[in-house]
Amino acid sequence: MEQTLRGKCVAILVADGFEQVELTEPKQALDQAGAMTVIVSTATGSTVKGWQHDHWGDEFAIDQTITNANVSDYDALLLPGGVMNPDTLRTHPEAVAFVRSFFEAGKPVAAICHGPWMLVEADVVRGRTVTSYPSIQTDLKNAGAHWVDQEVATDNGLVTSRKPDDIPAFNKKMIEEFAEGHHTPIKTAQTNEEETDTRELVGVS
């Protein structure tokens, strides 16, 4: 495979219960494309545990804890799915802020299956075309996204897919978008609040 991602560093954000194949196969594709991949987690201890369909899977070494992770150290973000994984991640404010920071910096993000749940929590899907595991489509629509039922959707550096069967198409688009690099940053509600606070501090209306 062509080393289109040589020199790029990709964060893979997970908690216990991520769908294992949605980490291992995209990670392998990223590694083969020349990227450095870093597993970032909210899990305590030195490992995070995957989920395989209906039972616990393997344990994977955590490269960096979320408390020490900084978006400036990474070029892109991968969000695997699995029901338990994003449900846990979205209860951690530092994980939500980490995801939001990629969009505010205009850095590409790829999320598959239930992974887009984190995009809802980070309030970064408004006006975007996305796909996901069908059971969370209502959450995405309520957050302002245009949800589509297709194997992969791409929107200004955001790549989303529905399920493990979509991984080949997901990996191809993910690598393309990650290779392109910087996209147009978005302003989130958090960004607008911070700008308002700044204007108030300096007396600008």
pTM for this entry: 0.91
pLDDT of residue 71: 97
Q: What is the pLDDT of residue 2?
A: 77
Q: pLDDT (tens digit, 9 = 90+) per residue, 171-200?
A: 999 999 999 998 888 877 665 555 445 445
Q: What is the mean pLDDT of residues 136-142?
A: 98
Residue 55 annotated in active site? no
- Position 3 scores a pLDDT of 87
3-state secondary structure of 20: coil
Q: Does 9 qualify as catalytic in the annotation?
A: no
d(CA 172, CA 102): 20
Predicted local distance difference test score (pLDDT) of residue 182: 86
Cα separation, 170 vs 165, in Å, equals: 9
- The C-alpha atoms of residue 36 and residue 93 are separated, in whole angstroms, by 26
Q: What does the pLDDT read at residue 196?
A: 44
Catalytic residue among 113, 146, 182, 183: 113
* Inter-residue contact 117 to 87 (CB < 8 Å): yes
What is the per-residue pLDDT across 50-74, written as a single tens digit (0 to 9) for each? Answer: 999 899 999 999 999 999 999 999 9
11 pLDDT above the threshold of 90: yes
**From the candidates 114, 146, 182, 183, which is the catalytic residue?**
114
Reading the block at residue 21, the tokens are 């194949």
Average pLDDT, the chain: 93
